Structure 1
Amino acid sequence: MADVEIAHISKSYAAHPVIRDVSLKVADGEFIALVGASGCGKSTLLRMIAGLETITSGTLSIGGRVVNDVPSKDRDIAMVFQNYALYPHLTVAENMGFSLKLRGASKEQMTREIGQAAQVLGLSDYLDRYPRQLSGGQRQRVAMGRAIVRKPQVFLFDEPLSNLDAQLRVQMRVEVKTLQQRLGTTSIYVTHDQMEAMTMSDRIVILNAGRVEQIGAPLEVYDRPANLFVAAFIGSPAMNLLRGRLVDGPQGHGVDLGGLILPLPGRVSAEAGRAVVFGIRPERLVVSTAEDALSMTVDLVEATGAELHVHGHLGDHKLILAMPGRRLVRSGDLLPIAAEPADIHLFDAASGQRLDLQRESVRA
C-alpha cells in the first residue's frame, strides 16, 4: 500500500487551463472521492495520477516516489473504468488474469489469484462465461477483480457505477466500499454523484473549474461548507440560499431580504449593509408554532415516500422544505416555518466565502 501526494499540480491544453494548482495528500489506505460537475477536471486529475495524462507543472508522488515521468504501467496502480473495458473475446477468468499473464505469472499463481478475487467478488460460478453473458453489475465486478489480482498500491476509480441503474448503483457502492475496507488499499474515486461521494469516502475533494473548493470529511463538508459553491453543490435537495443585506438594529442582527428580516443567531464580523447570502438546508427548516415563525406560501409538493419536498416562497424568495412523514400539504397553504440558530449559514455575496457567526441565544 502507499500514500499519494499531489503538490501544486496544474494541467493545460495549449493556453486552456484544466487543473489549477491542486494540492492533496491521500493517506495510506484512505478512500478519497473527487466530486464536481461535468467538466470540472476530476477525471483529468485522476488520469494524471494514472499516468494517462502528462503533468504541466507540479509534483506527483506515490509511496514517496516522484512519478511525473514514470510510465503508467510502472506506477503500481490499477484503474477501474466507467465502461468496464473488458475484452469481449476473453472469459471472466481470462479478463481477470490478463495482467498476470503479461507479467509472466505461472498458471498455478494465476489460478490461485483469480480464484481468491472471484471468491471475494462472488464471481466463482462465472469464471467460464464471457462479458456478454453477464449483467452490468457482474461486469463491474470483473473489472474490479482484474484490478484486485494485480495487488496494486493504489486503486483509481473513474465513475465506475455511472452506467448502472439506480438500484444496482446503491448495491454496488456498498460492495465497493466494503471491498476497499477489506483490502485496505489506497483508493481515489471520481464521481459526479454526491451521494456516492458522501456515503463511500473518508474525505471528499470538491472541484470547480479545475480548482479545489474544499477538502474534508463528508459530514464536515455538509455541515460547514466553505463557500457558496460547496453549499449549493452538496446536498439534495440543495441548500436554500437567499440573497439580502446585513442589518443591525434594536431587534438584533439579521438579513434584510427586501423588507422581510430574517434574524441571525449572533454577530457577524462584517458591516451592516453588506450583501450576503442566508443559507438553510431544506431538512433543517421546520413547521413551527412559535409566534415569530415566518409564513411560507406553498407552490408545489413532491411526495418521495420517506418525506415531502415542499416548494414555496417567502416574498420573492424561493424555498424548499423537506418534511418527514406524510402531512397533508397543498399548493396555496401557508406554512409557519423556523430554523434552529445552529443550522443557519451565512456567506459573503461578493466573494462567496463563509461568514462565521458569533453565536447568541436568539432563535431564528
Structure 2
Amino acid sequence: MQFIISSFIFFILFFFLWNVRLPMLSSVKETWIWNKEGAFGTFPPGEGEDPLKVLNGYRLEGRYYSFATNRFVPFEEPFKLDYALLSQGYLEYQKIGDEVNFYSDSGELFWKKPINSYPRSGYFGTPVLYLSGDNNTVFVLDNSGNASGLGELNGRFLTDYDFAQNGKGAVVLFSGGEIYRIDEKGNKIFSADLSSDKNESFFKSVSLSPNGSFTLVHFSSKKKDYLMILDEKGEATDEWELSQFYPHKIYLSIGNRKNSVLNSVDTVQFFKEDKLVWEEKKEKAGSVYQANFAFPSGFAYGLEKEIVFLDAEGNKIRKKNLPSSEFPIRFFSGKEPNTAYLETKKDIYQIRLFE
C-alpha cells in the first residue's frame, strides 16, 4: 500500500511539474591546442571546430607560423607582418614604407601594391583597415588590396577600432568623436560625430558586441569619463559616468544583451546596461593593456594571474590560474558561436562556452 501511495504521489508531481524549466548553469570547456615555440599540438577536439583548420597562424619572436603549411616564416626589421586570424595568408609591410605585399600561406607572393599605410586585418580580412601615418585617415581595402566601400574614413586622430566577430565589418573611432561602423565590404552602416553635443570631449576606446548590433564607446569630457552604448543605427541608447577618470584607452567588452565589462589598470567592473552591478578592485595596478573578451553568452577577462569567466549576467562560472610567465594573454573569436581562443606567451587553447 505504501508503495502504491508513493507511486501515485510521484506521478501526480511528475504530471504537474514535468514542464517546469530549471535554471541551467553555464560551463566552460578548455582544450590545450598548441605549443608555440615547439610547434606541436594535440589531436583536434572531438566536437566543435578544428582549430588547426580554422586558425591562420601566430607570430613568435620575428617569425610567423602557418598552420596550413606547418612551418615558420622568418621576417626581420624593418619588415612587419599582419594577418587575418581566421583566414589564410599574410601581409608584409613597413611601418614607414610605401609598399604592401600579400603572400599565400605557402609563401607565394600574390600581389604587391604601392600602399604607404599599415594594415590591420581583423578576423577575416574583410575589410582590411590601413592606418595612415598621421592617424587622421583609415583606408578601407579588400583582401586584394583594392579600395572597398567608403574607401577612406577621416577624423581627428585615430584612437581605437574593433572588428565584428561574425565577420560583419568593423568600427573605427577617432579622438574627435568621428565614428564609422562599416560592413564586411566597407559600406557604411552608420557614421556620426559624437562630439557634436559634447563640449571638450575626447573619445578613447570602442568595442563591438559579438553579433555586431551594439557599440560601446568610452570618452572623456571635462576630466570625467563616460561610457555610451550605440545601437545598430548609431543611436545612443545608454550613457553613464564612470567612477574615475582614465587618461588613456581602456579595454572594454560588450555582450549581445548590452551588458559590459570594463577591465582597467586597477579594477574590473560589470555593468548591466548603464547600471554598475559589481566591481572588483585589483591588489596592484597593472599595465594599460588588459585582456577582455565577450562571447555571445558570456565574458572572459584577465585578472592578475587568473582568467575569469562570466555568464551573460555577470556571474562568475570559472577561474583559471596561469603563471606570470604566460602573460600577456589575448582572446580572439573562433568561427563557431561561443568558441574562442586564448593565446598566451607559450600556448594556444580553445575555449568553448556552454549556456
- Is TM > 0.5 for Structure 1 vs Structure 2? no
**TM-score (ref. length: structure 2):** 0.24
Question: Between Structure 1 and Structure 2, which shows a larger proportion of helix residues?
Answer: 1
Instruction: Provide TM-score, normalisation by structure 1.
Output: 0.24
Larger radius of gyration: 1
Name the structure, 1 or 2, with higher relative contact order (CA <8 Å, separation 6+): 1
Q: Which is strand-richer, 1 or 2?
A: 2
